[in-house]
Amino acid sequence: MPATFRTCLPALCLAGGLLFGGCAETFDPFQENERHFSIYGYLDAAADTQFVAVAALRQVVTPAADPLDAAVALQNLETGETTRWRDSLFRFSNGSVGHVFWSKEAVQAGGRYLFTVTRSDGASSSATVRMPAAFPDPDLRTNLIPFSPLPPPRLQNIGLRGIEKLVDLRIVYTVRTAEGGASEPITLSYVDQTRASGEDRLALVFDAYGDIAARFPGSCPQALSATVIAGGGTSDWPDFFRLDDEMLADPDLTDQVRNGMGFLGGAIRWERPWPGLVVLLGGRRAQCLARRR
């Protein structure tokens, strides 16, 4: 059974499952061409294991589980050190199955790497990846006394500093509704709602409980947990959140992969629970229940 590709940023989970869908009419992956492999994913300076989705762009129609004629290597362009990656089958977020190469390798913030996929006949595709600099922990603020009888400001804040380009910002909740039972994880993305707030700073102002309640009309949901995920990338990242499925599958989306298609970015992924937000949301739920009595 293939593993599930859970380690990627949302847009690249999606793109990894669209390796062939919706390609431009000028490009046929089943004909001889100068593009040999598609490469989707990112290197994460905060992770101890790296994952990148790879597919051959010229192949017969066979199950995705068949072995892939590809050798994958990553070279640190500053030290010259090269590591070989292993192949595994993964299930992508859209349900499709494909090859994801992985390595127990730490990559360095601010470093440069060369990712190469080589076929047995010598044909290859490659991507040079520039890693972003490390950034400070985001500033998480609730700005609300949960059980106050007064109507204080209901907006919460996330402040981010030192990020060259924000490529991910979301909160993952588990929720219980009035009907009982914990929900599956609910992900609310805010990457396209941040605003500049001074030099080298981004800010998000949002109503956490209002956003959750909008998913459960007529209920007063209870948040059981909240986890903040932020991703800092480099300036060459496309704005994936602005792209539809067909645009994501366009082979000319970026020119970053030589003799191939796709995108391989450099990122630093930050993830922390936000217990103070859960306490605040408990107070907001109590206010919601009181209004319904």
* Interval 102-127: pLDDT, tens: 999 889 999 999 999 999 999 999 99
Give residue 94's pLDDT: 72
Give residue 3's pLDDT: 47
Torsion sign across C-alpha atoms 141, 142, 143, 145: negative
Number of Cβ within 10 Å of residue 278's Cβ equals 18
Give residue 48's pLDDT: 92
Give residue 37's pLDDT: 92
**Are residue 148 and residue 227 in the same domain, yes or no?**
yes
**Are residue 155 and residue 247 in the same domain, yes or no?**
no
**Are residue 123 and residue 164 in the same domain, yes or no?**
no
Residue 179 lies in domain:
139-233+272-292
**Are residue 116 and residue 246 in the same domain, yes or no?**
yes
**Are residue 146 and residue 243 in the same domain, yes or no?**
no
**Are residue 87 and residue 158 in the same domain, yes or no?**
no
Q: Are 231 and 206 in contact (CB under 8 A)?
A: no
**Are residue 246 and residue 278 in the same domain, yes or no?**
no
Give residue 112's pLDDT: 98
Give residue 244's pLDDT: 56
Cα–Cα–Cα angle for 282, 287, 293, rounded to 5 degrees? 125
Give residue 12's pLDDT: 53
Give residue 27's pLDDT: 40
Amino acid found at 257: V
Give residue 19's pLDDT: 31
**Are residue 154 and residue 210 in the same domain, yes or no?**
yes
- For the entire predicted model, the pTM comes to 0.81
CA distances from 63 to 6, 13, 86, 128, 281 (A): 22, 20, 19, 30, 47
**Are residue 123 and residue 245 in the same domain, yes or no?**
yes
CA distances from 281 to 8, 26, 277, 292 (A): 28, 51, 6, 17
Give residue 153's pLDDT: 52
Give residue 242's pLDDT: 66
**Are residue 8 and residue 127 in the same domain, yes or no?**
yes
Q: Are 140 and 163 in contact (CB under 8 A)?
A: no
Q: Are 204 and 136 in contact (CB under 8 A)?
A: no
Of 151, 176, 157, 205, the residue nearest 282 (C-alpha):
176
Please give the tally of structural domains in the chain.
Answer: 2
**Are residue 194 and residue 70 in the same domain, yes or no?**
no
What DSSP assignment string belongs to 10-69? HHHHHHHTTSSTT--TT--TTS--S--EEEEEEEETT-SSEEEEEEESS--S--TTSPP-
Give residue 63's pLDDT: 53
Question: How far is 19 from 9, CA to CA, in rounded Å?
Answer: 16
Whichever domain contains 24, its CATH number is: 2.60.40.10
Of 88, 237, 249, the residue nearest 164 (C-alpha):
237
Ranges of residues in the chain with a pLDDT under 70 are: 1-33, 58-65, 144-154, 178-181, 241-254
**Are residue 95 and residue 71 in the same domain, yes or no?**
yes
Amino acid found at 248: L
